[in-house]
A and B are shown apart, each in its own frame.
Chain A
Amino acid sequence: MSAVPHPAPGDAGLLPRDFSYGEVTRAVSDPVLVKRRWRNWWIALAVTMPFVLATLVGLVVVLGVGVGTWGINSTIVWGIAIANYVWWIGIGNAGTLISSLLAITRQDWRASINRFAEAMTLFAVSIAGLFPIIHLGRPQYFYWLAPYPNTMTLWPQWRSALVWDFWAILSYLIFSLLFWYLGLIPDAATLRDRATTRGKQLVFGVLALGWRGSARHWALHETLHITMAALAVPLVCSVHSIVGLDFAASLMPGWQETIFPPYFVVGAMYSGFAMVVMLAIFIRWGLGLERFVTLRHFDAMGLIMLMCSLVMGLSYATEWFMAWYGGDHAARGLIAHEFAGFYGPLYWLLLLFNVVLPQVLWWPPARRNLWVLAGVSVGINIGMWFERILIIWNTLSHTYLPSMRHVFVMSAIDWIFILGPLGLFAFLFLLFSRFLPVASMYEVRELGHREGAR
């Protein structure tokens, strides 16, 4: 990756000085419109296929045979499904944050990466949405969480965090789809106009919704975009806060903590940014977008990850402090269990990946070295997954009554659903990168305009 020569970034701007509108249009639209060799793409797709198939087989098994195929037990009733759900929702968070929070705060560098970050959100949230359903004992009745009219006049039980969660995921999924599509409209119009085949003209023509690029279109689009961005920020915070409440609104030591909502939001942003960094490295290499996704972008994202790692470290320390300060026997016992219990080694790894290793990002050259960034990002994603699963494993396995203390026994389905969805995600992303513009052309052009492009 780093072997690919990088164009020197402009002194002030994010984009190269010799940047031109046509260049960005070509670079982004050509992969979609112009025939070229896709050998690497096919290889990548082939690599993801076993994972996709495994996921499908896993789904059939879980739905057909039952949730007993997970490794869960009477003590640890939640397992990989819930950890994966939290982790994938977290991955999803970053995309929306990049598009909305950075749009509102006028962080222009987001322009090159927001499209695929939003796509990442969409795919991650879709995958995340699977887990709560396939973790249910009777998944066929998942819709009972919705307040639909029924002959028994039964309603959901509103005090349950799972009902809040149902709404949070649903609104988030719908919102990210709309938001992503809104940004896609002007680019779809560009593709429609440049398309050379009738089929592509039709598809992108329908997607463009009759976009003509008139000033009124742009004005309305801009207003809607910034309004939705403003809506997105609280939504992003709420979705992961509510995920946090799934745990916090309980009576179990290690879960019942007021810090959980903000801590989950930051954790989500953290793993999400790490995922964006990974994807950005792959996409700019795979599609040759080095001139638009520059080291300045990585530098900025590195700083955000550094900030998150500090907040995460502080959150962990707060948990430890509160357990000690609160003096509750169960809470103190849990902290001791986290460090020295059955899952102790994983907890130490978590701290290494989430808190210690990212400190390398204080050093500016590290933030611009893609190898270092890739390593730190992979570490963060693993560390954050450990965090999700350990929240479940530690609290539930170290339950109040010692007689019911058991450990989790991993099953084949657990492994399938740890690894399979990663491949499914890559598969969806590959399809996206082949058939839709991976960067927001109009926003990069806008950025270029501001930086004085011709």
Chain B
Amino acid sequence: MSAPDAGLSRRGALKLLSANIALVAAGCGKPPEEIVPYVRMPERLIPGIPLEFASSLALGGYGRGVLCTSVEGRPIKVSGNPSHPMSLGATDVFAEAAVFSLYDPDRSQAVRKGGEIVGWTALQAAVMPHFATWAASKGAGLRVLTGPLTSPTALRQIGELRQRYPAMRWHMSEALGDAAGRAGAMLAFGRPVTPLPRWAEVDVLACFDADPLGPGPAQLRNARGIADRRRVRAGTASMLRVYAGESVPTLSGANADHRFTWPLGGVENALIGLARALGADLADPNLAPEVAHAVAAVAADLQAHPGRALVLAGPHLRPELHGLAHWINGRLGAPLDLFAPSVPADASSLDDLARDLAAGAVDTLLVVGCNPAYEAPAPLRLGDGIAKAKLSIHLGQMFDETAAACQWHVPESHPLESWSDLRGLDGTASIVQPLIRRLYGTRTLHAMLAALGGAFDADDYALVRETWKAQATDFEPWWRAALEAGTVPGSTAATLDLAPPAPPKVSPAAEPRGLTLCLAPDPSLWDGSFANNAWLQECPKPLTKEVWGNALGLGAQDAATLGVVDGDLVALSVEGRTIEAPARIASGHAPGMLSLTYGYGRSRAGTIGSGVGAKAFGLVGREGQSVLVVAAAKAGGRAPIHSTQEQFRLEGEDRDLYPVLALGDMTAKPLDSHDGPVPTMLPPHDYTKAAARWAMVIDTGACIGCNACVLACQVENNSPIVGPEEIDRHRDMHWLRIDRYDHDAGGGFQPVPCMQCETAPCEPVCPVAASVHDSEGLNVQVYNRCIGTRFCEANCPYKVRRFNFFGYATDQAYGDLDQPVMQARYNPNVTVRGRGVMEKCTYCVQRISGARRAAEKENRPLGDNDVVTACQSACPAQAISFGNLEAPGSTVAALRREPHHYALLDHLDTKPRTTYLARIRNPNPDLEKGSG
């Protein structure tokens, strides 16, 4: 028997082995490293002093101006840019969470071909041969697929590519696009428009399925505008009145004065009824008497406020209804600005691309800024189609579903590490500037587009500057000013002056044949592009407080019909496409109406986001519609619903926890019912020597429940992520939570940070004096001293303390096990807490300390507004006020004298420093009885 011919003798193997050992011993030591201090300090960089840079972050393609805080070269916090009209100084959850995405260890780090890591030059070599083909065919077969694009530089580059290759086609994937709204605008004006209300002029707002306060690029602007018009102080006589007619719960409905729960067809018919009341010649939708009554009252109210009333139609309504809303607004003289959309309308659709792919007409496909393999309607079979392209290249921050479908994958730079530009909804442009050198060998959209034009080593900085070169003759100062301000001066689009539209022909809504499912962007994950962001996964959805998943919302009646209870899996199917989602019974669903959000069910989101929740995109048909008539059935089996709050309804005297007053009788009943001090044996705390007495007042009437404060707090204070299993054990670690309540007088949101009680129940019970009071009234927690008895939390009536049951900061899989790159996200001014330690809201004591140092350096007393807490800075509705009660003209002191001011659990005599303003409703007297 002969040995198999291995091509290697025993002797040879031994030789190789010894050579190997010699090599290992000689050559593989640690590479020499040396550290060097700054010999010359970079300009402006002072260790310990954070720098802020203006930039812009995209949501649905539209920019929201932000200011990024960078500490010694590491971006650690995003806050709003006050001079940007789409931010107004506030942030939403997506902007706050951008830092996590930057340091996400799952980010793609190398160019890959079919999954194998290769170099950028390999891609270059693969693309090169095609240039000749394109030159010959004028680019026929060359396709670029993007998400919604507003970047002037990218649009310029695409324009140049089109000039060079006239037959090239540009497609846009708009998974969350407002197709109905655009079609409605086409009906009304013959052109697409972006409507933006002039909130300062609005007295009455009627939303028909519309959710101006919901997540989206306009949320910050709308929240601020609506809050400004609903802010009530002593003596305020009028405020914005909001009606919401909707079929599934939305944030706008939760914040409305009157919310009508109608099926989707009922909402459409009510809008038709309203138009008829305003004089439109339309077929009678035969409204039920109570609906007719409501519509009549709304119509009367709208008509009573000519030029100051506004009607908004929502994304689930038919295009004709959008056209009708435009007509009504024209009729009312509504304060509504119409802009030309910042996203150009000349891109081809995804549908066309799918057809061409199937026909084999696509030679080269570049996919950037979107994830069609996940979000495109299933009947388009885009995943299969991409495989037919001769050359397919994907540019993305993650190796996602589309990356897997394409031959080539190029890692994309994060917006915080790239040069670019973005336009807001109103056209305002901002320059996106990098705060950190690229962490990996990543490329930007601009570099990829330039590569298609043959320039493989294009410089993004030069490309972006090239776009704006023509703006000023003396470019450098202009450029510098634009970067500093965060907006490009004069870039806001002019409002369109369009003729009032004619009333469109609208037929009453047909009775649906089954259950109607309304799909909407997820308030935490948006379209799914944030799925691997654990901060967002663990951000409780405003209305349901659900985390780590998307349950199917439905009313109790439909749940009974289907025979399901919370957590039972329901199979939803449309034309043979089926998904399963756990049911969750929630109030606010009209009979026959179901709700589900996009963004979940990712298969290649990363270690955190893959396999979480139900894939709503899997149901969507070829037209990409967000309303589906579905067949629903109990699927058998259960899926856990992770939620941070279980009881929403307030009964009996619990209602005092969340008072809701009508504008008229705001002063009727004093809310601070506390009569005199409660007897105590403990000596009173002496605050007379304190330089400041910090206090916070939260206006529950302004709060829209958007969670920006929750995320801002988490980012600022290095709060850990705990994961779904720990959420199920009720161990969430948010220092600031937003409680949602409803009761007969109304409902709303109550952000609950630490109350910083003057007579704090947590302090006397701590055996080791880890919970102590400081001279300025802060109830501070000394982490190093804490031994974890948890008596403080047991004795806290507000339950605002949070305990590290495990080493969440370092050992939590959902926190990426605190991998080295993730550690860069930490705010260096806040201690990272270890296992077994209690923690809590500190009123951002690190910011107070910073402000105090600044004041001392300038030898002045601390002013009222010197300190802005993270939650306060994030709030788009400016519901949170923070300041020094001792300062002259103190804002918080004035708010504490308001008639609708109250302290939570006042009767316990905890003397909280965090107090509230009651929610004020502005009901229509005609509807006060029997409104939905």
Task: List residues of A whose CB falls within 8 A of some B CB.
Answer: 65-68, 71-75, 77-78, 135-139, 141-142, 144-145, 154-157, 159-163, 166, 246, 249-252, 329, 333, 396, 399-406, 409
Q: A156-B767, A409-B729 are in contact. Are A144 and B741 (CB under 8 A)?
A: no
The smallest C-beta distance from A68 to any residue of chain B, in angstroms, reads 3
Distance between Cα atoms of A1 and B654 in the complex (Å): 55
Among A73, A77, A252, find the residue whose CB has the most chain B CB atoms closer than 10 A.
Answer: A77
**B905 adjacent to chain A (CB < 8 Å):** yes
Q: A136-B789, A137-B788, A405-B646 are in contact. Are A68 and B806 (CB under 8 A)?
A: yes
Q: Which B552-602 residues have C-beta < 8 A from chain A?
A: none
Query: CB within 8 A of A137: which of B647, B657, B803?
Result: B803
Residue of B nearest to A161 (CB): B765
**B835 adjacent to chain A (CB < 8 Å):** yes
5 tightest A-B contacts by CB?
Answer: A137-B788, A137-B836, A68-B805, A403-B739, A73-B730
List 21 contacting pairs A-B, 8 Å CB cutoff, sorted by A: A68-B726, A136-B788, A137-B786, A137-B836, A138-B788, A138-B836, A141-B768, A144-B768, A157-B766, A157-B768, A162-B789, A249-B764, A250-B765, A250-B791, A400-B657, A400-B798, A401-B657, A401-B797, A401-B799, A403-B737, A409-B730
Distance between Cα atoms of A402 and B657 in the complex (Å): 9
The smallest C-beta distance from B518 to any residue of chain A, in angstroms, reads 27
Contacts of A405 in B (CB 8 A): 646-647
Contacts of A396 in B (CB 8 A): 794
Contact of A74 with B731 in the complex, beta carbons under 8 Å? yes
Contact of B752 with A251 in the complex, beta carbons under 8 Å? no
Given contacts A68-B726, A136-B789, A400-B908, 17 further A-B contacts (CB under 8 A): A66-B805, A67-B788, A72-B790, A74-B799, A74-B801, A77-B790, A77-B793, A135-B789, A139-B836, A156-B769, A161-B765, A249-B765, A396-B794, A401-B657, A401-B904, A403-B645, A405-B646
Distance between Cα atoms of A81 and B904 in the complex (Å): 31
The smallest C-beta distance from A256 to any residue of chain B, in angstroms, reads 9
Distance between Cα atoms of A154 and B769 in the complex (Å): 9
The smallest C-beta distance from A127 to any residue of chain B, in angstroms, reads 19
Residue of B nearest to A163 (CB): B767
Q: A74-B802, A251-B908 are in contact. Are A409 and B728 (CB under 8 A)?
A: yes
Contact of B797 with A157 in the complex, beta carbons under 8 Å? no
Residue of A nearest to B794 (CB): A77
Q: How many A-B residue pairs have CB under 8 A?
A: 161
The smallest C-beta distance from B753 to any residue of chain A, in angstroms, reads 13
The smallest C-beta distance from A155 to any residue of chain B, in angstroms, reads 8
The smallest C-beta distance from B549 to any residue of chain A, in angstroms, reads 18
Contact of A137 with B797 in the complex, beta carbons under 8 Å? no
**B650 adjacent to chain A (CB < 8 Å):** yes
Distance between Cα atoms of A363 and B650 in the complex (Å): 49
Contacts of A402 in B (CB 8 A): 647-650, 654, 657, 741
Contact of A399 with B787 in the complex, beta carbons under 8 Å? no
The smallest C-beta distance from B812 to any residue of chain A, in angstroms, reads 10
Contacts of B726 in A (CB 8 A): 68
Contact of A401 with B803 in the complex, beta carbons under 8 Å? no
Chain B interface, number of residues (Cβ within 8 angstroms): 57
Task: List residues of B whose CB falls within 8 A of some A CB.
Answer: 645-650, 652-654, 657, 726, 728-732, 737, 739-741, 750, 752, 761, 764-769, 785-791, 793-795, 797-799, 801-807, 835-838, 904-905, 908, 910
Q: A137-B804, A141-B787, A162-B791 are in contact. Are A71 and B647 (CB under 8 A)?
A: no
Distance between Cα atoms of A166 and B767 in the complex (Å): 9
Contacts of B904 in A (CB 8 A): 401
Contact of B650 with A145 in the complex, beta carbons under 8 Å? no
Query: CB within 8 A of B837: which of A135, A138, A399?
Result: A138
The smallest C-beta distance from A141 to any residue of chain B, in angstroms, reads 5
The smallest C-beta distance from B576 to any residue of chain A, in angstroms, reads 40
Distance between Cα atoms of A135 and B788 in the complex (Å): 8
Contact of A403 with B765 in the complex, beta carbons under 8 Å? no
The smallest C-beta distance from A315 to any residue of chain B, in angstroms, reads 22
Residue of A nearest to B651 (CB): A402
Contact of A162 with B767 in the complex, beta carbons under 8 Å? yes
Contacts of B806 in A (CB 8 A): 65-66, 68
The smallest C-beta distance from B732 to any residue of chain A, in angstroms, reads 7
Contacts of A144 in B (CB 8 A): 767-768, 785, 787
The smallest C-beta distance from B884 to any residue of chain A, in angstroms, reads 28
Contacts of B799 in A (CB 8 A): 74-75, 399-401, 404
Contact of A137 with B794 in the complex, beta carbons under 8 Å? no
Contacts of B797 in A (CB 8 A): 251-252, 399-401
Query: CB within 8 A of B731: which of A73, A159, A160, A162?
Result: A73
Contacts of B788 in A (CB 8 A): 67, 136-138
The smallest C-beta distance from A425 to any residue of chain B, in angstroms, reads 25
Query: CB within 8 A of A67: which of B645, B739, B798, B836?
Result: B836
The smallest C-beta distance from A47 to any residue of chain B, in angstroms, reads 33
Contacts of B741 in A (CB 8 A): 402-403
Contact of A401 with B805 in the complex, beta carbons under 8 Å? no
Q: A77-B790, A250-B765 are in contact. Are A68 and B731 (CB under 8 A)?
A: yes
Among A78, A157, A333, find the residue whose CB has the most chain B CB atoms closer than 10 A.
Answer: A157
The smallest C-beta distance from B795 to any residue of chain A, in angstroms, reads 5
The smallest C-beta distance from B721 to any residue of chain A, in angstroms, reads 14
Contact of A71 with B786 in the complex, beta carbons under 8 Å? no
Query: CB within 8 A of A401: which of B752, B761, B785, B795?
Result: B752
Contacts of A161 in B (CB 8 A): 765, 791
Contact of A156 with B768 in the complex, beta carbons under 8 Å? yes
Distance between Cα atoms of A66 and B729 in the complex (Å): 15
Among A74, A159, A251, find the residue whose CB has the most chain B CB atoms closer than 10 A.
Answer: A74
Residue of A nearest to B907 (CB): A328
Contact of B795 with A252 in the complex, beta carbons under 8 Å? yes
Query: CB within 8 A of B732: which of A74, A141, A157, A399?
Result: A74
Q: A137-B804, A138-B836, A402-B657 are in contact. Are A78 and B767 (CB under 8 A)?
A: no
Among A72, A160, A405, find the residue whose CB has the most chain B CB atoms closer than 10 A.
Answer: A160
Contacts of B653 in A (CB 8 A): 329
Distance between Cα atoms of A406 and B765 in the complex (Å): 23
Distance between Cα atoms of A78 and B792 in the complex (Å): 11
Distance between Cα atoms of A78 and B794 in the complex (Å): 7
Residue of B nearest to A395 (CB): B794
Contact of B836 with A250 in the complex, beta carbons under 8 Å? no
Contacts of B732 in A (CB 8 A): 74
Contacts of B728 in A (CB 8 A): 409
Contact of B731 with A251 in the complex, beta carbons under 8 Å? no
Residue of A nearest to B908 (CB): A251
Q: A137-B838, A162-B765 are in contact. Are A66 and B807 (CB under 8 A)?
A: yes
Residue of A nearest to B738 (CB): A403
Contacts of B795 in A (CB 8 A): 250-252
Distance between Cα atoms of A163 and B765 in the complex (Å): 9
Contacts of B805 in A (CB 8 A): 66-68, 72-73, 137
Distance between Cα atoms of A74 and B111 in the complex (Å): 45
Residue of A nearest to B644 (CB): A403
The smallest C-beta distance from A251 to any residue of chain B, in angstroms, reads 4
Among B648, B653, B728, B764, find the residue whose CB has the most chain A CB atoms closer than 10 A.
Answer: B764
Contact of B768 with A401 in the complex, beta carbons under 8 Å? no
The smallest C-beta distance from A287 to any residue of chain B, in angstroms, reads 42
Distance between Cα atoms of A261 and B908 in the complex (Å): 23
Contact of B791 with A160 in the complex, beta carbons under 8 Å? yes
Distance between Cα atoms of A202 and B777 in the complex (Å): 65
Contacts of A163 in B (CB 8 A): 767
Distance between Cα atoms of A72 and B752 in the complex (Å): 22
Contacts of A68 in B (CB 8 A): 726, 731, 805-806
Residue of B nearest to A329 (CB): B653
The smallest C-beta distance from A421 to any residue of chain B, in angstroms, reads 20
Distance between Cα atoms of A449 and B652 in the complex (Å): 69
Query: CB within 8 A of A406: which of B646, B648, B905?
Result: B646
Distance between Cα atoms of A157 and B762 in the complex (Å): 12
Q: A154-B769, A160-B767 are in contact. Are A401 and B650 (CB under 8 A)?
A: no
Distance between Cα atoms of A400 and B764 in the complex (Å): 19
The smallest C-beta distance from A144 to any residue of chain B, in angstroms, reads 5
Contacts of A139 in B (CB 8 A): 787, 836
